[in-house]
Amino acid sequence: MGCGTSIAIENQTRPSETAIKAAILIQRWYRRYVARLEMRRRYTWNIFQSIEYAGEQDQLQLSSFFSFMLDNFTQINGNGPDLISHLLDSVVDPLTEEVRQLKYEQIVVPESYSGPRLSFPLSVTDTNALLSAFKEEQTLHGKYVLQLLYETKKFLKQMPNVIYLSTSYAKEITICGDLHGRLDDLLLIFYKNGLPSAENPYIFNGDFVDRGKKSTEIIIILFAFLLLYPDHMHLNRGNHEDHIMNLRYGFTKEVMQKYKTHGREILQLLQDVFSLLPLATVIDNKVLIVHGGISDKTDLDFLSTVERHKVKSALRFPKRSIDHLNVQQSQSRRSSSRHSGRSKLDSPRSSGRTSRASRRRKKHFTKQGSCSSSSSSSSSSSSVVDILWSDPKNPNGCSPNSFRGGGCYFGPDVTQALLQKHGLCLLIRSHECKQEGYELCHNGQVITIFSASNYYEEGSNRGAYVKLGPELVPRFFQYQVSRSTRKLTLHQRVRVAEGSALRALKEKLYTHRSELMAAFQQYDIDNTGRISTSEWAQVVESVLRLDLPWRTLRPRLARLCADGNVEYESCFEDISPGDPIPPVTPNLAETLYRYRTDLEIIFNIIDKDHSGQISIEEFRQTWKLFSSHLGVAVNDQTIDDMARSIDFNKDGSIDFNEFLEAFRVVHKLDVKEQQQG
Amino acid sequence: MADKYNAENIITETQKRISNAFDVFDHESNKTVDVREIGTIIRSLGCFPSETDLHDIIAELEEEEPTGFVRYEKFLPTMTKILLERKFRPITEDLLLQAFEVLDQQKKGHLEPEELTKYLTQEGEPFTQEEIDEMLSAAVDPDKNVILYKDFVSMMTFDDTR
């Protein structure tokens, strides 16, 4: 007995040769397994980013469409709407402050409303009530939203463009990045790091809204804390604090859905509030915090003089505003801003490295006959766009940000120069999703901090926040909100994210079908239906203009036949159209699928009262404009047929959401999965 | 003639595969990758090198003054050779199953998590804590708290990309 156990023990302490070999084999195999998953995760990431940035680049197209309209049409027809006045919809406040305040106070909140009832000035009771309510999925009544926004607007008006803060001894400041409507992430941050207070100051670095479904709740919470702790809570503007971005990326829709009565007024107020958000924060005169980044023209003193509230959107510069967009001279500074002694004002940039987008806008301005002030005004607005849209890159230099269509790519030399110019040591920015929630670059001089976990898809990335104490050494904290209670394995996480990315990619293929087929067929002279992998990859890359590893992706997108060539039509197999509207030809359908989002934005702009309806005439005219701008040949009869067939009630108006729904593609595999249950 | 054409074709196809895989990790789009990603790239191209093998390869690929980056010009010939010579042959499902069976000395049909952990973190080229945690999360049957390795191997070798 004793012998037996001791032998067993001996065996346990000294594994055999074969056992060791077996262990090595398993290790080798497993590491390879993980590497394959890592590869899939990485190209999934590339897909998401490429599509996201390509989408943002489409913004440029939209803004050039607006320029096109401004250039060519002043009015659609006698009875129709003045499309231009829709665009130049600068919010002119006809009511005086007192009247407006009274109006909000008089809004009656029904007895049945069980949500929080705010009282101004706000107290901790109010913010606690808001947090509890939102955790319970309640909605704050429109009256309080309006009052909150109104107070926020009043407060922000006093703020300078650049806010200077200091860490006092033993106080750490917490800096958070993009939230994009992810309430769970914000609540998780507050849970881990505590609520904002005098002992626990916060800076939120922009992009609070869009994409996620709880953008309204997030800004309510952030603005409430802003009013409650004005010295300890700071918000920077992001590129999504922009009403045209909101039209495209979901915030406008969210507001209109949650606030049927007051939605429009809320959105109007928000236009002002967003444009009044400060542009930058500086800690201890050493750390600069902005949402996007910088350019080689960025200068904090100049930035402090810009009339930031005039830059309502980075995506359009209506002619009328140019005249008002003057650069303030150094003597008339805002009262509450603190500056160093220098009253430097950069001379207007005539040539040099303005982004492609602002160059195009400048061309438009001169056509309209604006005076020389145009160059200085566009340098004001481009300095704002640079702050909100730029990305750091590793090569030296500063070049236009072609991905985004606005702002620049700035290199380590640009960072170094700016930091040196203002005696700073660190730049903290957000704007880009990072797998670990944060990333350092430019020799540690730039930190990217991103606070929306699972941004692309469940498991795609962590979120993070950074804390800075008086010694200004950053400490990072990561987290990940998980929808499922059971932890997903690596494989599951990769698969979910990958599935989503591939679906998006397949949609892209489908909506460019005719172009792709035409190009494929150029290689397939004998009409065999097959071309080589190289040829397939080449065509797809040039038509979609997405820089992705197509050969690596090929197995997930298209089928090979027996001789090793690609059956190119197989890449359209998994997608089928939704219910098509009869008079629409396949070509037109494809165009509609592709530009669905842009059309949605335009319809939303035309639909001033946000009713979801536009008149047939408006529909006709918009479509004609858009297609002539795109150079797509659509004959009038087709448009009219389409318009009439959509007008189900025959009352002369179109529910454009229904119209757009018809052009949402259906993924066949999803349908199959649903059927199999 | 046909053979030569085929041979050239194979080399070009191989090089394009290598280029594509390399590009996935080339964040700056300047034909360099972080040296720490080399292992992942090589493995994703179908090879099963050991950690020692990788160290040797990386030593070959690094610059005289190590920059932390590997350039494509150096990577391509090395990787082409590895693929054409079929070095670091794949480990098949059968071989993998046999390995687990060897570790299952008492022929129980399953392994205890502690058993497997001991082998993989103490022998051969030991796993890090992260690696063993991740493997166990997929391998351990949550009800019985053991590793049913036959099922595990089947699941892991199933290629859901085809």
Q: How confident is the model over A251-288, as pLDDT tens digits?
A: 988 998 899 888 888 988 998 999 999 999 999 999 99
Q: Closest Cα partner for A56 from A294, A272, A315? A: A315
Q: State percent of chain A over pLDDT 70.
A: 72
Best mean pLDDT range from A281-295, A645-659, B25-39: A281-295
Grade residue A648 by pLDDT with cuts at 50, 70 and 90.
low
C-beta atoms surrounding A131 within 10 Å: 19
Mean pLDDT of chain A: 78
Q: What is the pLDDT of residues A116-172, one digit of tens each?
A: 999 999 999 999 999 999 999 999 999 999 999 999 999 999 999 999 998 876 689
**Residue B72 sits at the chain A interface (C-beta within 8 Å):** no
Q: State percent of chain A over pLDDT 90.
A: 38
Token pair 């409507």 in the structure block, residue:
A181
Chain A residue numbers with beta carbons less than 8 Å from the beta carbon of B134 are 34, 489-490
Residue A563, judged by CB atoms within 10 A of its CB (0-12, 13-18, 19+), counts as: exposed
pLDDT at A588: 66
Is 60 exceeded by the pLDDT of residue B66?
A: yes
- Domain spans of chain A? 1-89+485-511+574-677, 512-573
Q: Min CA distance, B103 vs chain A (Å)? A: 6
**Residue A11 sits at the chain B interface (C-beta within 8 Å):** yes
pLDDT at A457: 79
pLDDT at A638: 73
pLDDT at B1: 46
pLDDT at A484: 63
SS3 A325: coil
Is 60 exceeded by the pLDDT of residue A338?
A: no
CB proximity under 8 Å: A 542-561 to B: 547, 549-552, 555-556
**Residue B130 sits at the chain A interface (C-beta within 8 Å):** no
Across the range B148-158, mean pLDDT stands at 86
- DSSP annotation of A346: P
**Residues ≥6 apart with Cβ < 8 Å to A104:** A143, A146, A147, A150
Is 60 exceeded by the pLDDT of residue B26?
A: yes
Best mean pLDDT range from A247-251, A289-293, A588-592: A289-293
pLDDT at A585: 63
Is 50 exceeded by the pLDDT of residue A103?
A: yes
Q: Closest Cα partner for A330 from A368, A301, A360, A289? A: A301
pLDDT at A358: 34
Complex ipTM over 0.85: yes
User: Residue A654 forms beta bridges with which residues?
Assistant: A614
What size, in residues, is chain B? Answer: 162
Q: Closest Cα partner for A223 from A248, A242, A249, A202? A: A202
* B44–A35 CB contact, under 8 Å: yes
The mean-pLDDT minimum among A95-104, A155-164, A532-541, A652-661 falls in A652-661
The mean-pLDDT minimum among A495-509, A580-594, B136-150 falls in A580-594
* B91–A28 CB contact, under 8 Å: yes
* Residues A236, A113: Cα–Cα separation, whole Å: 33
Q: Min CA distance, A8 vs chain B (Å)? A: 11
SS3 B145: coil
Q: What is the pLDDT of residues B96-120, one digit of tens each?
A: 999 999 998 888 889 999 989 999 9
Are A93 and A100 contacting, i.e. CB atoms less than 8 angstroms apart? Answer: yes
Is 60 exceeded by the pLDDT of residue A332?
A: no
Q: Min CA distance, B64 vs chain A (Å)? A: 22
The mean-pLDDT minimum among A302-316, A324-338, B66-80 falls in A324-338
Is the CATH code 1.10.238 the one for domain A512-573? yes
Is 90 exceeded by the pLDDT of residue A600?
A: no
* A395–B28 CB contact, under 8 Å: yes
Q: Cite the active site residues of A.
A: 240
**Residue A14 sits at the chain B interface (C-beta within 8 Å):** no
Q: Which of B18, B38, B119, B155 to mutate to test the interface with A (most CBs of A within 10 A)?
A: B119
Q: Which of B11, B14, B24, B89 to mutate to test the interface with A (most CBs of A within 10 A)?
A: B24
Better pLDDT: A237 or B151: A237
* Residues A528, A537: Cα–Cα separation, whole Å: 18
Q: For chains A and B, what is the number of CB pairs under 8 angstroms?
A: 121
